[in-house]
Amino acid sequence: MRSFLKYLSIILITSVLTIVALIQIAPFIIVVPKKDTQEIEINFDQNVTKKELKAVDRKAKNIILLIGDGMGINQITAYRIAKGGPNYTSAFDKFPHTGLIKTHAINTLITDSAASATAFSSGIKTVNGYLGVNKDKQVVKNITEMLHEKGYVTSLIATSEITHATPAAFVVHNESRDNTDQIAEQLFRSNNFISLGGGRDFFIPEDLGGQREDDLDILALIKEEEAYLGSRSDLINFQLDPSKRIFGLFSKEGFIREESEPDLLEMLDFSLEQSNKMISNNCTGFFIMAEGSQIDWEGHENNFDGVYKEMDEFSRVVDRALKFAESNQDTLVIVLSDHETGGLLIETDTWERNPQPRNKMKISWNTAVGLGTHTGTMIPVFAFGPGAENIGGVMDNTDIFFIMEEALGIDNLAERKCL
Ligand SMILES: [Zn+2]
């Protein structure tokens, strides 16, 4: 009898330890309590109604497009409250023009960053995962290519790999965001003038320590033919040679916030400075796309502390861009997101009608499928500068491209060779 009890207790202890170990090491297999969900038949009409735009008389010369990946209206609201309370004025709150954007991809309600950034860069709906190609995989021209022909200096900035979906959709044409070898090569062969972000590994072959499956050493080519920045100090000490395009590849993959990496604001400031030098060097104007890439990643993790830090960095960039545009009245600033990530909620924690006053914000996430996914909610857009008057009401994500085109008057700009 005593040995039976002994075995029973060993079995019990082992089971408890196994369960504890599973909870520790594999939270992804823990089944979350099922939330109420419902499926509704919808009519997925693929024709987008294009917003009617007002003719912009005073054209913009430059555009700064700031994308907070995964930044929904609740991320912006929760950031404001966490930063300084519900009455705090965040950088987002200072814009005179706001609107809402529908984010769906061509055949799915929930978009990914590739389809969404292609809508912004090229004005078309496409399939999730596609970069700069339509649903039939045909190449569509993007705004950086159009502007290059008009003598523009263009910049792409991200805290993810520079080959990641959002920046890539502004420069490459590929049927899969996962074709990183091809994306890095297309970026290298493109006319984009400044590329700043992570993802150095995708420019180096595997046998030289990188992640390229072919043997093309693009990093060596960059160092030979163009200007290469490998660290924050390279960025700070940079001397422009207008004949060389600039590649800042500050980390192996996405930024991990090391001292050798610049932050988003330093990269924006760098681009503004070099772009202005290029304009004095006979370029027409500049286009800068800067992405707070990791707001999305923290949303996937359902990590609000992480979202807050990423939003704080992104909001400093928003603030700087707005101040730049206020003192240079020729720049259109558009701040938006591609989709919401994680189903972030700001909830009450009581059914009481008149709860006690409290100074806590209760954050929760929609974890109905067990992981933070993208959601299909509309996302907000903020704008300032010439052409910002077309931002307003409910828009489609493809409208953003046409609003930028109208603001600059791209069709009427003369062809010009600057780079
Ligand atoms: Zn995502």
Domains in the chain, please, with CATH? Answer: 60-347+361-411 (3.40.720.10)
CA of 298 to the centre of ligand 1 (A): 9
CA of 347 to the centre of ligand 1 (A): 23
pLDDT for the residue numbered 30: 45
Any residues with CB less than 8 A from the CB of 256 and at least 6 apart, and which? Answer: none
CA of 338 to the centre of ligand 1 (A): 9
The ranges of the chain with pLDDT < 50 are 25-32
CA of 164 to the centre of ligand 1 (A): 11
CA of 382 to the centre of ligand 1 (A): 21
CA of 296 to the centre of ligand 1 (A): 5
Task: For the beta carbon of residue 167, count every other beta carbon within 10 angstroms.
Answer: 32
Six token digits for residue 368 = 């109905």
CA of 374 to the centre of ligand 1 (A): 6
CA of 222 to the centre of ligand 1 (A): 29
379-384 and 97-102 strand pairing? antiparallel
CA distance 167 to 404: 17
CA of 263 to the centre of ligand 1 (A): 21
pLDDT for the residue numbered 37: 74
CA distance 251 to 257: 9
CA of 249 to the centre of ligand 1 (A): 22
CA of 133 to the centre of ligand 1 (A): 20
Structure-derived torsion over alpha carbons of residues 234, 161, 279, 94, reported in degrees to the nearest 10 = -110
> Among all chains, which residue has been given the structure tokens 């163009």?
226
CA of 61 to the centre of ligand 1 (A): 32
In terms of Cβ atoms closer than 10 Å to its own Cβ (0-12, 13-18, 19+), residue 71 is buried
CA of 372 to the centre of ligand 1 (A): 9
Q: Which of 284, 255, 113, 280 lies closest to 196 in space, CA to CA?
A: 255
Cα separations in angstroms, 224 against 144, 161, 233, 241, 245: 24, 22, 20, 14, 11
CA of 187 to the centre of ligand 1 (A): 22
CA of 375 to the centre of ligand 1 (A): 10
CA of 290 to the centre of ligand 1 (A): 16
CA of 208 to the centre of ligand 1 (A): 30
CA of 59 to the centre of ligand 1 (A): 34
pLDDT for the residue numbered 24: 53
CA of 300 to the centre of ligand 1 (A): 7
CA distance 95 to 388: 10
CA of 130 to the centre of ligand 1 (A): 15
CA of 295 to the centre of ligand 1 (A): 9
CA of 184 to the centre of ligand 1 (A): 20
